[in-house]
């Protein structure tokens, strides 16, 4: 979780028109959790009666804490994921000072609270581990690596089904360096894989498997496999994979834990191998659990005709009225910004813009992120950033310093675009 500080009374009132609702939609309830940069509230959708969790995040504190990238990444990642055992993000809303995540409400609370009362039976440990591996394997298939798996980030719904949450430290495949590895040091010390501590690069999927192994150990034992008041002593135990399995552990589970908590990532068990493990397989429906993707729920409003419309998770970092990028970057020296979304390839966008620039006799300077266009009769000065949002969609952001580029270049962009300009927020249900 991230703490924003409380939703101020003044700010809440500004979004409580006549019915006393947050944004005219949600009846805000009690505080259910807090972190360093956010507070989480239980709320009710006034239209449907559905319980939701609303995480209120302070933009100012995010900037000061340097966590803006974590929030935008979490939004983008949660848009990718639709799985029964992953907390769902319904909507993102914002004011000048706060960002609000409207999420699935996990009525059962944190798994940590349950295990703190005593260890689970081996059967119950297996059940939750199966649900965890189902979610984690699905994330990996979508190019997402959680990197902070622990009981505090595993929630339970009203039916006591597992829900993986808090993707703020997650990485995506795009962050993998040319050596094929991730390099960011992150995670919770007692759950982090030894290769992450070594700071030499690591495979995100194998690091997640290690954390899953620690979680399974905790469920079965009721305590951590690697723990010591002296952090360096604990790290040495992690490096060597030194732990003792409780006497009540079955031989089959003992063997699986040994393979999960293998300090050598190259020989550590993989998700595919876990699913074939005899202890794990008991009562496990691979077809239902491993591939339980709710992609059918990804229909967007206005998508009935087959053309995909950009939604809040894709555009929240750049949408007019809810522009998070302006909160995270220095003020732009350009006077005007407009955004377009297209289904064309980035290369085609560049070709079209080059042709339009040639007609206006503009100087074109290509960059890795886009291009700069300057000169001409109208003394145009503009920057064009081209960013891929999804496999199908590309966002074109145009910033101008002066001149009538809108009259000269805009028709080219409108010709390419799916929507122009980009609208602020769309709901995904």
Claim to verify: residue 223 and residue 176 sit in the same structural domain? yes
Q: Domain tally for the chain?
A: 3
pLDDT exceeds cutoff 50 at 7: no
Claim to verify: residue 121 and residue 234 sit in the same structural domain? yes
pLDDT exceeds cutoff 90 at 42: yes
Highest mean pLDDT among 58-72, 168-182, 232-246: 232-246
Task: Please report whether residue 98 resides in a domain.
Answer: yes
pLDDT at 316: 42
Q: Which residues of 43-62 are buried (b: 16+ CB within 10 A; e: fewer)?
A: bbbeeeeeebbbbbbbbebb
- SS3 category, 93: strand
Task: Please report whether residue 426 resides in a domain.
Answer: no
Q: Which residues of 189-204 are buried (b: 16+ CB within 10 A; e: fewer)?
A: ebbbbbbbbeeeebbb
pLDDT tens digit sequence for 273-321: 999 999 999 988 776 664 444 443 333 222 333 323 333 344 444 443 3
pLDDT at 424: 30
Claim to verify: residue 172 and residue 43 sit in the same structural domain? no
Question: Once rounded to an integer, what is the mean pLDDT over residues 36-50?
Answer: 88
Residue 14: band (very low, low, confident or very high) from pLDDT cuts 50, 70, 90: very low
pLDDT at 416: 72
pLDDT at 418: 56
Task: Please report whether residue 258 resides in a domain.
Answer: yes
**Vertex 195: Cα angle to 78 and 66 (nearest 5):** 45
pLDDT at 36: 66
> Which domain does 334 fall in, by range?
312-419
Claim to verify: residue 77 and residue 158 sit in the same structural domain? no
Bridge partners of 172, per DSSP, are 144
pLDDT tens digit sequence for 143-187: 888 888 999 999 999 999 999 998 877 776 666 677 666 666 667
Claim to verify: residue 254 and residue 376 sit in the same structural domain? no
Angle of the 122-141 helix axis to the 204-221 helix axis, nearest 10: 170
Claim to verify: residue 21 and residue 66 sit in the same structural domain? yes
Cα-based torsion angle of the residue sequence 281, 249, 226, 258 in order, rounded to the nearest 10 degrees: -50
Please indicate whether residue 148 is annotated as part of the active site.
Answer: yes
Strand arrangement, sheet containing 162-164: 109-110, 154-156, 162-164
CATH of the domain at 247: 1.10.510.10
Claim to verify: residue 98 and residue 141 sit in the same structural domain? no
Of 105, 131, 154, the residue that ends a domain is 105
Task: Please report whether residue 183 resides in a domain.
Answer: yes
Residue 142: band (very low, low, confident or very high) from pLDDT cuts 50, 70, 90: confident
Claim to verify: residue 140 and residue 278 sit in the same structural domain? yes
pLDDT exceeds cutoff 90 at 226: yes
Task: Please report whether residue 42 resides in a domain.
Answer: yes
Residue from 10, 45, 148, 272 carrying the catalytic annotation:
148
CATH of the domain at 356: 3.30.310.80
Claim to verify: residue 263 and residue 370 sit in the same structural domain? no
Rounded distance between C-alpha atoms, residue 371 and residue 384, angstroms = 5
pLDDT tens digit sequence for 75-97: 778 877 889 999 998 888 877 78
Question: Once rounded to an integer, what is the mean pLDDT over residues 337-345?
Answer: 78
- Beta-strand runs (E) in 89-130: 89-94, 98-104, 109-110
Question: Once rounded to an integer, what is the mean pLDDT over residues 327-338?
Answer: 50
Q: What is the mean pLDDT of the chain?
A: 76
Residue 358: band (very low, low, confident or very high) from pLDDT cuts 50, 70, 90: confident
pLDDT at 384: 85
pLDDT tens digit sequence for 362-399: 888 887 678 888 887 767 788 888 877 666 677 788 87
Claim to verify: residue 101 and residue 200 sit in the same structural domain? no
* Structure-block tokens of residue 265: 């990532």
pLDDT exceeds cutoff 60 at 29: yes
The more confident residue out of 294 and 224 is 224
pLDDT at 270: 96
Task: Please report whether residue 303 resides in a domain.
Answer: no
pLDDT exceeds cutoff 50 at 265: yes
Residue 423: band (very low, low, confident or very high) from pLDDT cuts 50, 70, 90: very low
pLDDT above 70 covers what percent of the chain?
72
Of 72, 105, 138, the residue that ends a domain is 105
pLDDT above 90 covers what percent of the chain?
34
Task: Please report whether residue 3 resides in a domain.
Answer: no
Cα-based torsion angle of the residue sequence 113, 127, 274, 236 in order, rounded to the nearest 10 degrees: 20
pLDDT exceeds cutoff 50 at 355: yes
Claim to verify: residue 243 and residue 157 sit in the same structural domain? yes
Task: Please report whether residue 425 resides in a domain.
Answer: no
Residue 59: band (very low, low, confident or very high) from pLDDT cuts 50, 70, 90: confident
Claim to verify: residue 64 and residue 154 sit in the same structural domain? no
């Amino acid at each position: 979780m991230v703490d924003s500080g409380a939703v101020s009374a003044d700010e809440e009132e500004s979004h409580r028109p006549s019915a006393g609702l947050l944004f005219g939609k949600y009846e805000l309830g009690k505080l259910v959790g807090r972190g360093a940069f956010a507070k989480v509230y239980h709320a009710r959708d006034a239209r449907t009666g559905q319980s939701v969790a609303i995480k209120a995040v302070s933009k100012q504190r995010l900037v000061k804490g340097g966590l803006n990238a974590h929030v935008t990444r979490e939004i983008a990642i949660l848009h990718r994921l639709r799985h029964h055992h992953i907390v769902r993000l319904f909507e993102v809303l914002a004011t000048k000072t706060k960002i609000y995540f409207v999420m699935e409400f996990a009525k059962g609370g944190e798994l940590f609270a349950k295990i703190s009362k005593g260890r689970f039976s081996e059967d119950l440990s297996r059940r939750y581990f199966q649900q965890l591996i189902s979610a984690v394997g699905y994330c990996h298939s979508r190019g997402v690596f959680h990197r902070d798996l622990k009981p505090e980030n595993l929630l339970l719904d009203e039916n006591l089904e597992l829900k993986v949450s808090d993707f703020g430290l997650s990485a995506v495949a795009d962050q993998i360096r040319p050596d094929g590895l991730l390099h960011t040091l992150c995670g919770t010390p007692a759950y982090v894989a030894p290769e992450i501590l070594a700071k030499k690069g690591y495979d995100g999927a194998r690091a997640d498997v290690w954390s899953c192994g620690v979680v399974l150990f905790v469920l079965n034992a009721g305590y951590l496999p690697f723990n010591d008041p002296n952090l360096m002593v604990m790290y040495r135990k992690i490096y060597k994979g030194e732990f003792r399995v409780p006497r009540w552990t079955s031989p089959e589970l003992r063997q699986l834990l040994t393979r999960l908590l293998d300090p050598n990532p190259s020989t550590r068990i993989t998700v595919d191998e876990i699913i074939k493990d005899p202890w794990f397989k008991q009562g496990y429906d691979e077809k239902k659990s491993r591939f339980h993707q709710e992609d059918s729920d990804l229909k967007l409003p206005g998508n009935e005709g087959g053309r995909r419309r950009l939604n809040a998770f894709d555009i929240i970092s750049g949408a007019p009225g809810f522009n998070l990028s302006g909160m995270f970057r220095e003020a732009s020296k350009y006077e005007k910004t407009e955004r377009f979304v297209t289904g064309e390839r980035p290369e085609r966008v560049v070709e079209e813009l080059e042709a339009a620039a040639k007609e206006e006799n503009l100087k074109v300077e290509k960059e890795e992120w886009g291009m700069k266009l300057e000169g001409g009769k109208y003394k145009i000065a503009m920057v064009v950033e081209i960013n891929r949002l999804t496999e199908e969609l590309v966002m074109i952001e145009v910033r101008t310093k002066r001149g009538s580029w809108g009259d000269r270049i805009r028709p080219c962009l409108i010709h390419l675009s799916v929507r122009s300009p980009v609208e602020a927020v769309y709901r995904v249900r």
